[in-house]
Structure 1
Amino acid sequence: MKRYLFIILLAISFSVQAQSNTVNYKYIIVPEKFSFLKQMNQYGLNTLTKALFEDKGFTVYFDNTEIPQEIAADRCKALVVELQEKNSMFVTNLTLLLKDCKGAVVIKSKEGKSREKEYEIAYNDALRDAFTSFNHFNYVADQPTMTTNTVTLPTSTTTPPKTVPSNQIAATKAEQKEALLYAQPISNGYQLIDATPKIVMTLLKTSMEDCYISNNGNANGIVIKKNGIWFFEYYKNNVLVSENLSIKF
Structure 2
Amino acid sequence: MKTKLFTTLLACFIITSVFSQSNLNDYKYIIVPKKFDFLKQENQYRLNALTKFLFEKNGFTTVVEGEQYPDDLAGNVCMGLTSDVEKGKGMFKTKLSIVLKNCQGGVIYKSEVGESRIKEYDKSYAEALRNAFKSFETVDYKYTPNGNNSVIASNKVETKKEVSQELQKLKEEIKSLKEEKKEAVKVAENKVSEIVEVPAEATKTVQENVIEGASNILYAQEMVNGFQLVDSSPKVVYRIKKTNLNNVFLVENKNAIIYKKGDDWVLEFYSNNSLIQETLNIKF
Structure with greater proportional strand content: 1
Distance in 1, Cα, partners of 2:37 & 2:11: 42
- Change in 2 beyond 3 A, CA 1:98/1:68: same
Q: Please tell me whether the aligned partners of residues 17 and 139 of structure 2 are also in contact (alpha carbons under 8 angstroms).
A: no
Letter in 1 for 2:51: T
Which SS does the other structure have where 2:51 is aligned? helix
- Equivalent pairs: percent with the same residue? 45
Determine the structure 2 residue equivalent to 1:30.
Answer: 32
Distance in 1, Cα, partners of 2:12 & 2:114: 31
What whole-Å deviation, never above 9, does each CA across 1:122-175 have from its counterpart, x for those lacking one? 00000001111111112232369xxxxxxxxxxxxxxxxxxxxxxxxxxxxxxx
Q: Please tell me whether the aligned partners of residues 82 and 102 of structure 2 are also in contact (alpha carbons under 8 angstroms).
A: yes
Determine the structure 1 residue equivalent to 2:114.
Answer: 112
Q: Which has the higher contact order (CA 8 A, sep 6+)?
A: 1
Determine the structure 2 residue equivalent to 1:126.
Answer: 128
Determine the structure 2 residue equivalent to 1:69.
Answer: 71
Residue 31 of structure 1 and its aligned partner are, at CA, apart by 0.3
Determine the structure 2 residue equivalent to 1:18.
Answer: 18
Letter in 2 for 1:78: G
Q: TM-score, normalised by structure 2?
A: 0.44
After superposition, residues 1-249 of structure 1 pair within 5 angstroms as: 17-22=17-22, 23-24=24-25, 25-142=27-144
- Change in 2 beyond 3 A, CA 1:11/1:125: closer
- Change in 2 beyond 3 A, CA 1:141/1:115: same
Structure with greater proportional helix content: 2
Q: TM-score, normalised by structure 1?
A: 0.50
Detail structure 1 runs of 4+ shifted over 6 Å in the superposition: 10-13
- Change in 2 beyond 3 A, CA 1:49/1:13: closer
Letter in 2 for 1:107: Y
Distance in 2, Cα, partners of 1:136 & 1:13: 11
Which SS does the other structure have where 1:89 is aligned? coil
Q: Please tell me whether the aligned partners of residues 21 and 136 of structure 1 are also in contact (alpha carbons under 8 angstroms).
A: no
**Which stretches in structure 2 are left out of the alignment for 5+ residues?**
1-9, 147-284
Distance in 1, Cα, partners of 2:38 & 2:67: 21
Letter in 2 for 1:18: V
Aligned length: 135
Distance in 1, Cα, partners of 2:29 & 2:65: 12
Letter in 1 for 2:125: Y
